[in-house]
């Protein structure tokens, strides 16, 4: 049995962004679009902030699924980008798995659209190959809450760690003293309530 605490380590983790495509996003209805957009970009910002190797993949972007969300493409210009010719489970694509293995990391952070397919399938495959897998649940979306709940139970039963982007950032950062301003900035950009706290604080400080 695995140890109770699979803890993220920024030196041993890679990020996989699976099928965040402009067409597929219209299928996501278990999270409000404003929030979902924010969560996905927050996760991308985390990947960059913690300098994690990141791999992008898409499914059929020439067709109705649409292109990768342009913001993501722009944020990771040098990352491996695997436009899969047909495999639904990205893990069935050799280039994708090779790109992962090339990172040398044993912890995989996964998010994508839709949760029970584009996320759950590679999650289960990766666990089977011995990786420690962390699902960024709030940067993954699907048709409705019922579908999501079923996918979560399947992944949890297999040993996946269910995270959110904020918990992920905190577990990777470990200690505010590593960089107060950088992390504070990241939170301010993606958590309106935190931004308000900071703005109130700064105003009072400067009075």
Active site residues per annotation: 118
Measured from the CB atom, is 47 or 141 closer to a second copy?
141
Measured from the CB atom, is 3 or 51 closer to a second copy?
3
Torsion on CA atoms 167, 173, 179, 185, rounded to nearest 10: -30
Residue 80 binds a second copy (CB under 8 A): no
What distance in Å separates the CA atoms of residue 13 and residue 132, rounded to the nearest whole number? 9
Q: Which of 74, 98, 101, 199 binds a second copy (CB under 8 A)?
A: 199
Q: What is the DSSP letter of 113?
A: B
What distance in Å separates the CA atoms of residue 133 and residue 83, rounded to the nearest whole number? 22
What distance in Å separates the CA atoms of residue 122 and residue 141, rounded to the nearest whole number? 15
Residue 26 binds a second copy (CB under 8 A): yes
Residue 146 binds a second copy (CB under 8 A): yes
89 CB-contact burial (10 Å; exposed 0-12 / middle 13-18 / buried 19+): middle
Q: Which of 47, 137, 139, 186 binds a second copy (CB under 8 A)?
A: 137
Residue 11 binds a second copy (CB under 8 A): no
Q: Which of 77, 85, 104, 181 binds a second copy (CB under 8 A)?
A: 85
Residue 64 binds a second copy (CB under 8 A): yes
């Amino acid at each position: 049995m695995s140890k109770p605490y699979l803890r993220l380590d920024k030196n041993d983790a890679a990020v996989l962004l699976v099928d965040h495509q402009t067409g597929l996003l219209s299928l996501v209805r278990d999270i409000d679009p404003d929030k979902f957009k924010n969560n996905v970009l927050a996760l991308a910002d985390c990947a960059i902030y913690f300098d994690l190797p990141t791999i992008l993949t898409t499914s059929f972007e020439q067709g109705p699924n649409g292109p990768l969300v342009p913001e993501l493409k722009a944020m990771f210009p040098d990352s491996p980008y695997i436009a899969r010719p047909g495999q639904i489970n990205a893990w069935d694509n050799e280039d994708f798995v090779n790109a992962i293995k090339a990172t040398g990391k044993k912890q995989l952070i996964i998010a994508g659209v839709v949760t029970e397919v584009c996320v759950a399938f590679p999650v289960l495959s990766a666990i089977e190959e011995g990786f420690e897998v962390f699902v960024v649940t709030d940067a993954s979306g699907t048709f409705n809450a019922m579908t999501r709940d079923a996918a979560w139970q399947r992944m949890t039963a297999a040993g996946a760690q269910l995270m959110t982007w904020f918990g992920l950032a905190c577990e990777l950062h470990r200690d505010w003293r590593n960089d107060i301003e950088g992390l504070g900035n990241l939170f301010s950009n993606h958590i309106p309530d935190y931004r308000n706290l900071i703005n109130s604080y700064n105003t009072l400080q400067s009075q």
